[in-house]
Structure 1
Amino acid sequence: MKLLKFLAAAVVLAATALPASAQQFRLLSSWDQNYAYNPYLLDPFVKGVEEASKGRMKIAVNGPETVAPFEQLEPAGSGVFDFLFTAGAYHFGTTPIMTVAEALEGDLEKVRESGVFDLFDKHYQQFGLKLVMLPITPEGAYHIITRQPVTQEGDLRGRKIRGSLTYSGIVKMLGGALTVLPASEIYTGLEKGVVDGAGWPIIGALEYRWYEVAKYLLRPGFGVNYEPVFMNLNSWNKLSGEDQKLLMEVARKVEDSWFRDAPKVWEAEEKELLAKGMQITKMGEKQQEMLRQAWAEGLWGEGMKKNAKATQELLDFARSKGLAK
């Protein structure tokens, strides 16, 4: 059934192909066109490739309406699509590596110098994918929005918090209960009290209008965000050395600008949310001291449950390079 859906998607894409004068590539995104990170990651990459190639390389973007986010790794690896813009949590069922990567230290230059990019690249080649772009942020890329402020103890004891497995360590440390809900159900879940709060990247609440149903921003933020762009390995191998270099150079520019600008983008959205009536609620000092450790241990723990060998190899490598404790 999945194969039929992928083939149907390919037929639709072929019918809407770009002019034959350009190299035509198909990119599959885990998010729709309104995703808050698109202007800083996806759009500059797509436009940058076209501009750097003087229009010779064009990328058509297809979103989750074409293939659901949790099913995207296979069609990208099999060549139905040439690129995949995603997050590790969407293919955790296949491999936990890009999810647990967010436990690493949030220092772009240190990550590059460590060689961990090559480790990720080698790992994903077994799924038919080449890692092209690895945008990361400084610490503070995630947060929790809540209907009520923290308890007197500075935690979320007894409250139901929406989140993926990524948030398990943080929610547990804060005394909450992790509840899995798709993004499309967060608004109604908060509105009706199905959940008392929701974990999400630190920008996005404005776009989804969650400020209408949740009035508090839990601070500080936590964690590092990785949202990679992969290319189908066969498509990559068909490129000339010049075009491979072009893609990587565009990717490095996007990575640089995002790492530099991310905190300013976060600050701007927080300012707008406060103007719309949201308030800051802060974790207790004890919880803040445990924050970094809880985030990392939660991610490593989930990775070990899924694939202990690959997770341990990444942890050992990261420790040897000073990216993890």
Structure 2
Amino acid sequence: MHQAKSHTNARTLRRGLIATALAALAFTSAFTGQANAEETLRAISAFPQSLAFSQSFKGFVDLVNERGKGVIQINYAGGPEMFPPNQQVDAVRRGVIDMQYGPASYYLGTMPEADAWVGSTVTATAARENGGFAIMQEAFSKKLGVNLLAHLDAGVKFYIYTINEPKRTDDGGVDLDGQRIRSQPIYNAFFEALGAIPVSVPVPDVYTGLERNTFDGSGWPIVGIRDLSWDKFLRYRIDPGFFQTDLAVVINPAKWEGLSDDAKKVLNDAAADYEKISYDNFQKVIEETDKAVRDNGMEVITLEGDAQAKFLDLAYDSAWKRMKDSGSEHYDALRKAYYDR
């Protein structure tokens, strides 16, 4: 069942990439006959390759490999079985791995600017155009010691899911007071503001925890909930969604500097193009996932009016306050570029 759900999302993403692959063929001829030898990058991701996000990263790899024939290729070597997810960027910095794909928020303690993506309300393409992406490139370089190439798969929102129907407040909100909700650093403060008790549980242990009722719910992106089969236990979803995915592609600076100009162009162009492609593809996956969980009996609790506004204010304010409290010199510029509520 788990594999079937993962394969469904993967098929949707692959269908969305067919046109991309065809378009990529047009780029290949531009580099035919180049004197430089083909260069290869070794890449890893923070997630197992079966998950939809990793399948999307594979789409980026395929796009680069098609456009970069004879110039630049990426070898997608694996996922967390190679390096723990929260140590992968350091492996890139040290040059053990050339490229990595995963959440920027894993490194919030070192780079508080990751919250600009967490609390973003604009697309990655818009942030490239308004200067926000360039600021993030500076932050990645200065704080993490890696070059930022892309912000992929943006626009996938997070939701709160519960095992039992949540109580409602008099003003139309939800009462999560005392509820133990599986969390992670990006939404601990938000959950606490809702009265919930954030619980830290590694992803591989969540299914068992839900099965044993050791906690009452979980925060998670809409896309991954079926991949992991958590929807078997989480039967209620609180709408609207909040935040958005913060998935970065980074590359080792020395490796980048050693690439030919043609190779750099292939990577930069593919990164900008795939930001839009992956956004569009995931909108389709989101629609399919939403329909599937509803058809399977998940009940959606939709907050409206002032209750919805209050819910979203608590969410986004928690992310931006965290960055402001960190003393980031980029706070004002990033908020202007990434937040338009």
Change (3 A) 1:204 1:262: same
The letter of the residue matching 2:308 is: Q
Partner of 1:49: 64
Q: What's the Cα RMSD here?
A: 2.1
Aligned residues with identical type, % of pairs? 26
Partner of 1:237: 257
SS at match of 2:69: coil
Identify the match of residue 201 of structure 1 among 221, 239, 253: 221
The equivalences for 1:55-94 within 5 A come to 56-61=71-76, 62-94=78-110
The letter of the residue matching 1:135 is: L
The letter of the residue matching 2:204 is: S
The equivalences for 1:134-149 within 5 A come to 134-135=151-152, 137-138=154-155, 141-149=157-165
SS at match of 1:230: strand
Partner of 2:132: 116
Partner of 1:279: 299
Structure 1 residue 268: deviation in Å? 0.4
Cα-to-partner distance string for 1:54-84 (whole Å, 9 max, x where unaligned): 2543322221111101111211111111101
CA distance in 2 between partners of 1:100 and 1:302 (Å): 10
CA distance in 2 between partners of 1:94 and 1:320 (Å): 22
CA distance in 1 between partners of 2:193 and 2:131 (Å): 32
CA distance in 1 between partners of 2:122 and 2:282 (Å): 12
Identify the match of residue 327 of structure 2 among 309, 317, 323: 309
Identify the match of residue 290 of structure 1 among 305, 310, 335: 310
Equivalent residue pairs, number: 299
Structure 2: gaps of 5 or more residues: 1-36
The equivalences for 1:243-282 within 5 A come to 243-282=263-302
Change (3 A) 1:284 1:149: farther
CA distance in 2 between partners of 1:315 and 1:240 (Å): 34
Partner of 2:199: 179
Partner of 2:210: 190
SS at match of 1:79: coil
Is contact 2:160-2:237 (8 Å) kept?
Answer: yes
CA distance in 2 between partners of 1:240 and 1:196 (Å): 52
SS at match of 1:39: helix
The letter of the residue matching 1:27 is: A
Is contact 1:205-1:211 (8 Å) kept?
Answer: yes
SS at match of 1:249: helix
The letter of the residue matching 2:263 is: D
Is contact 1:76-1:231 (8 Å) kept?
Answer: yes
The letter of the residue matching 1:309 is: G
Partner of 1:166: 186
The letter of the residue matching 2:327 is: K
The letter of the residue matching 1:166 is: I
Structure 1 residue 319: deviation in Å? 4.3
Cα-to-partner distance string for 1:77-121 (whole Å, 9 max, x where unaligned): 111111010102222232222234321322344312221211111
CA distance in 1 between partners of 2:336 and 2:116 (Å): 16
CA distance in 2 between partners of 1:283 and 1:91 (Å): 32
CA distance in 2 between partners of 1:28 and 1:304 (Å): 32
Greater displacement, 174-183 / 95-104: 95-104
Partner of 1:33: 49
Structure 1: gaps of 5 or more residues: 1-20
CA distance in 1 between partners of 2:304 and 2:207 (Å): 27
Structure 1 residue 322: deviation in Å? 7.1
SS at match of 1:228: strand
Partner of 1:129: 146
